[in-house]
Amino acid sequence: MKKILIVDDDLTLRRILHNSLEQRGYQVVSVGSGKDALAQFNQDGPDIIVSDVSMPEMDGFEFCRQLRSQPSGKLIPFIFLSAKNELNDRVQGHTIGADNYLTKPFEMKELLANIEALIERSRRVHAEIVHLIEQLANPQLKDTIFNSNAQQSQTTVPIEETAIPAVPAKPLPLTPAEERVFWETIQGYTNKQISDRLFISPRTVQTHLSNILSKLDLSNRTQLVRFAYEQGYEKA
């Protein structure tokens, strides 16, 4: 069941959205400010966020900005749902990092279409990462991948020179707990899945992941997967 985080200071609208989305099979969590939303995200990350802009304590723009500054929040699908309908507001929302910007009053059918489309896009991205990892874990497919890349770039570099070195990868500069999260992450598991598999809280997973990205000087999961592949880290 996909989880949606609703962020709006209008209690009536929150209840309407909460009930409508639950009836359509989503798990819904709703809060009234960007500050509370950030705390909820850090505690148990959702699959998608629908947020108002004008709110007390922390508005939607600042919430989105802070969310996107976190490694674990860079790829979360994000929709603004706001009465601020000026062109500059919509441009600012997209510039900050929102995937879409809908204006109030809105049609529930349009909101649902956006939610479903963004969740499906997120699913495809995750599936592609998992597929890449599975390919790279299969020695028989490595030459095929490198062959394809070499043909596309029309270079004359031999395949052997571009392949992963046979020497063992260097030890990771991580704690044992961070290493466990590292291996789970490069296999394509989400924070929630890692939490369930390692019997730790989603917040602990996020903390470890943030530390991993910081120590390896990376920005997001995609870079982490590429790093693991290029450096020869493969799950035994």
Confidence class for position 54, pLDDT limits 50, 70, 90: very high
What pLDDT, on the 0 to 100 scale, is given for residue 227? 85
Confidence class for position 66, pLDDT limits 50, 70, 90: very high
Which value, in Å, is the radius of gyration of the alpha carbons in the chain?
Answer: 20
pTM above threshold 0.85 = no
What pLDDT, on the 0 to 100 scale, is given for residue 22? 95
What pLDDT, on the 0 to 100 scale, is given for residue 150? 52
Tell me what the mean pLDDT of segment 179-199 comes to: 84
Q: For 61-65, 129-133, 138-142, 166-170, which range has the lowest pLDDT when averaged over its residues?
A: 166-170
Q: How far apart are CA 184 and CA 181, in angstroms?
A: 5
Q: What is the mean pLDDT of the chain?
A: 82
Residue extents of the structural domains in the chain: 3-126, 128-230
Q: For 30-39, 69-78, 157-166, 202-211, which range has the lowest pLDDT when averaged over its residues?
A: 157-166
Return the half-sphere exposure (C-beta side, CA atoms, 13 A cut-off) of residue 7.
32
The matching CATH number, chosen from 3.40.50.2300, 3.50.30.30, 3.40.462.10, 3.30.390.10, for 3-126 is: 3.40.50.2300
Q: What is the 3-state secondary structure (H, E, C) of 66-92?
A: HHHHCHHHCCCCEEEEECCCCHHHHHH
Q: How far apart are CA 44 and CA 62, in angstroms?
A: 20
Pairing of strands 48-51, 27-31: unpaired
Per-residue pLDDT of 136-157, as tens digits, reads 666 555 555 555 555 554 544 4
What pLDDT, on the 0 to 100 scale, is given for residue 142? 54
Does the domain made of 128-230 have the CATH classification 3.90.180.10? no
